[in-house]
């Protein structure tokens, strides 16, 4: 009788161990799938959040906040001229990064989420431009979905946009951008890091009129 009892207990222990192993294997499989998914998301978004020739002599990394007034001034006054004079001519490569100032801008983080999810659809620059152009509109209502439905109808797939935002992938990337910005001592927006190759030439914090930026870029290209 004791042998039978011991055999049952052994089988129970074996079954428990087997189930535990299955749970652990499942956990790591899920974690691996999520990691691959996030990796693909970051690669796709970063590829779309950049303009120009990656082999250009000068690279600008722009940290910005979609609810920031001075970021909008940069978008409206400086970026078009930088793009025309330097990006289209292959001299400068620009990468955009998120740095929402959540303590003072209530909807900046959400704006970045929708912009990055638009980037996942290959539509970062159009949505970026819309968010800055109509900054007052969406920051007053705080409803990014309604804003895009009204202003970007047909330009992006809103269903995919919502699925992306709810997935949390954009949130994770934005937090990573904030962390890298803080490590680089970003203290306000916009902040531009201007590189000659891999060497930092100039850090520009805050908005500067195009003539000032233009002089800096000319120096970086010499």
Neighbouring CB atoms inside 10 A of 144's CB total: 23
Does any domain span residue 41?
no
Average pLDDT over residues 121-143: 95
Backbone dihedral angles phi then psi of residue 126, each to the nearest 5 degrees: -60, -45
pLDDT score, position 90: 97
Confidence of residue 122 (pLDDT cuts 50, 70, 90): very high
pLDDT score, position 126: 95
d(CA 208, CA 213): 6
pLDDT score, position 155: 85
Tens of pLDDT along 67-81? 999 999 999 999 999
Helix locations, the chain, DSSP H: 2-48, 69-73, 79-82, 108-120, 124-133, 135-141, 144-151, 158-167, 169-183, 210-221
Does any domain span residue 39?
no
Burial of 18 (C-beta count, 10 Å sphere; 0-12/13-18/19+): exposed
Among 213, 174, 167, 173, which residue's Cα sits nearest to residue 190? 213
CA angle, residues 143, 176, 174, in degrees to nearest 5: 10
Does any domain span residue 22?
no
Average pLDDT over residues 177-203: 97
Name the more confident of 87 and 11. 87
* Three-state secondary structure call for residue 95: strand
Does any domain span residue 13?
no
Does any domain span residue 85?
yes
Question: Do residues 111 and 145 touch, judged by C-beta distance below 8 A?
Answer: no
**Domain enclosing residue 188, as ranges:** 49-221
Confidence of residue 15 (pLDDT cuts 50, 70, 90): very low
Does any domain span residue 1?
no
Tens of pLDDT along 91-119? 999 999 999 999 999 999 999 999 999 99
User: 208 pLDDT exceeds 90?
Assistant: yes
Confidence of residue 152 (pLDDT cuts 50, 70, 90): confident
Question: Do residues 70 and 208 touch, judged by C-beta distance below 8 A?
Answer: no
Does any domain span residue 158?
yes
Number of domains in the chain: 1
State the CATH number of the domain containing residue 92.
3.40.30.10
pTM: 0.81
Average pLDDT over residues 176-201: 97
Question: Do residues 158 and 114 touch, judged by C-beta distance below 8 A?
Answer: no
């Amino acid at each position: 009788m004791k042998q039978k009892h011991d055999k049952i207990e052994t089988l129970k222990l074996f079954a428990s161990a087997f189930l535990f192993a299955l749970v652990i294997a499942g956990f790591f499989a899920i974690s691996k799938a999520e990691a691959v998914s996030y990796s693909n998301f970051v690669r796709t978004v970063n590829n779309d959040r950049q303009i120009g020739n990656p082999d250009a002599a000068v690279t600008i990394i722009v940290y910005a906040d979609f609810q920031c007034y001075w970021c909008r001034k940069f978008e409206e006054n400086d970026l078009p001229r930088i793009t025309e004079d330097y990006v289209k001519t292959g001299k400068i490569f620009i990468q955009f990064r998120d740095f929402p100032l959540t303590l003072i801008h209530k909807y900046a983080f959400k704006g970045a989420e929708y912009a990055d999810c638009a980037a996942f659809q290959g539509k970062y620059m159009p949505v970026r431009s819309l968010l800055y152009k109509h900054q007052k509109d969406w920051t007053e209502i705080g409803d990014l979905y309604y804003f895009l439905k009204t202003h970007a109808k047909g330009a992006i797939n809103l269903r995919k946009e919502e699925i992306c935002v709810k997935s949390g992938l954009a949130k994770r990337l934005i937090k990573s951008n904030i962390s890298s910005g803080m490590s680089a001592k970003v203290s306000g927006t916009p902040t531009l890091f201007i590189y000659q190759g891999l060497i930092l030439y100039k850090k520009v914090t805050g908005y500067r009129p195009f003539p000032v930026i233009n002089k800096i870029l000319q120096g970086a290209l010499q």
